[in-house]
Amino acid sequence: MKKLFLFAAMAVMAAAIASCEKYESGETGTTTWKLKDGVLTISGTGAMTNTAKANLYVYNPVHPDLHSYTSIWEAYKKDITKVVIGNGVTSIEGFDGFTALTDVIIGANVKTIGDYTFAGCTALESIYIPVGVETIGAGAFNGCTALKSIDIPDGVTTIREGTFYGCTALMDVIIGANVRSIEHIAFMGCTALESIDIPDGVTTIGIKVFEGCTALTAIDIPASVTSIGKSAFVGCTALEGIDIPDGVTSIEDSTFDSCSALTSVTFGAGVESIGLGAFHNCTALKSVIIPDGVRTIRAGAFAGCMKLASVTCLATTPPELGHDNFEADGDILHVPLGSVDAYKAANLPDGWPNDWATAFATDNIVAIVP
């Protein structure tokens, strides 16, 4: 009887031990993974690959050639709370949609964070990116709505397209000293972002990079920047002032559209054109000085700027002016001494209609007082 009891007790203990040791595992290229108690551990050496179930075809009548790929961890996405990357791993991917993920440890030898690696990890509040990381892929943190801060290492040279798109809690961003380009929609919809320092050396700010950053009150654009993309600051309704560097030659279409708190704009000496709707609906803007190098102001560039009472244009020859500009009642145009008649003329020297003469009352086009 005692032997039977002992045997039963040992069986129960063995079952308990087996249950405790139960885990899922597999391979991701030259690395391996193990999932136990909500912790996903990546070990081995080299780059993670094959984290998606390839060739899973889902018919789409609109795009019949479209394939859909499912993560190998699809069944566990809502349960994984922690990811640990071993020091032998050099490239990571495939943790998108882990909605319970709160803790990530990235090994010291990781060089690449792949496209959309942590996209949609809505519980992730912070993450340390090791100093050795050189590439952060497109959309890597897209939709991480709880992420509050990020420190981009100096080894990174490009903030890729949509990297932090829709990170609505993101408030603190440190951009590494060697970043040269911020690509399209990189910070679009980061509605908690109040300020950001762009390091000297950045040359390009892409399309819609800060669109919809409604808390952004200030941003310093370094002298190294030569290109600011279309709609880069659309809907930044708290932005109060902007200084455009001398190296920028074109203010693209809709760049500052609906920046309703904008009161101060300083144009760099290199600006030659101001695009369609560039300052459309900047309803707090009261005055602007347009540099003498500007040759074209396109339609609606200053449409809806109903408080814009004072415009100074330093060009001796009137720039080409599109329709629907300078609509404020009683606004005054200040132009160089000796150029007043040219701005008042019905036609420009090339014969085209002079929209300056229709945008401003004749008596409101006056010479700049020295």
Type of residue numbered 124 = L
The token pair at 352 is 């085209």
Mean pLDDT over each residue of the chain, to the nearest integer: 89
Q: Work out the average pLDDT over 21-27.
A: 77
| pLDDT tens readout for residues 186-217 | 999 999 999 999 999 999 999 999 999 999 99
Q: What is the pLDDT of residue 71?
A: 81
- Between 40 and 349, the higher pLDDT residue: 40
Listed residue (37, 32, 3) closest to 20, CA to CA:
37
Q: Name 53's bridge partners.
A: 70
Taking the model in full, what pTM does it have?
Answer: 0.88
Least confident interval from 54-58, 218-222, 273-277, 354-358: 54-58
pLDDT reading at 38 higher than 80 = yes
Q: Work out the average pLDDT over 88-105.
A: 96
DSSP state string for 289-323: EE-TT--EE-TTTTTT-TT--EEEE--SSPPEE-S
- Between 328 and 258, the higher pLDDT residue: 258
CB 106 within 8 A of CB 129: yes
pLDDT reading at 351 higher than 50 = yes
- Between 15 and 114, the higher pLDDT residue: 114
H or E segment and range at residue 32: strand 24-36
pLDDT reading at 5 higher than 60 = no
Domains of the chain: 240-370 (3.80.10.10)
Q: What is the pLDDT of residue 349?
A: 67
Q: Work out the average pLDDT over 313-321.
A: 94
- Between 71 and 156, the higher pLDDT residue: 156
Q: Work out the average pLDDT over 178-188.
A: 98
Q: What is the pLDDT of residue 55?
A: 37
Type of residue numbered 76 = Y
Q: Work out the average pLDDT over 318-346.
A: 91
Q: How far, in Å, are 4, 61, 161, 242 from residue 334 at the CA level?
A: 105, 59, 41, 22
Give the chain's radius of gyration (CA, Å).
28
- Between 125 and 64, the higher pLDDT residue: 125
- Looking only at the bridges linking them, the beta strands covering 52-53 and 70-71 are antiparallel
206-217 core/surface letters (b: 16 or more CB in 10 A; e: else): bbbbbbbbeebe
Q: What is the pLDDT of residue 158?
A: 98
Q: What is the pLDDT of residue 346?
A: 67
CB 290 within 8 A of CB 270: no
Q: Name 353's bridge partners.
A: 347
- Spatial distance between the Cα atoms of 328 and 335, rounded to a whole number of angstroms: 18
Question: Under 8 Å CB-to-CB from 196, ≥6 apart: which residues?
Answer: 173, 175, 187, 216, 219
Q: How far, in Å, are 78, 81, 312, 325 from residue 368 at the CA level?
A: 66, 65, 8, 21
- Spatial distance between the Cα atoms of 228 and 236, rounded to a whole number of angstroms: 15
| pLDDT tens readout for residues 121-156 | 999 999 999 999 999 999 999 999 999 999 999 999
Q: Work out the average pLDDT over 45-53.
A: 84
Q: Work out the average pLDDT over 304-318.
A: 95
* 3 state SS of 71: strand
Q: Work out the average pLDDT over 259-270.
A: 97
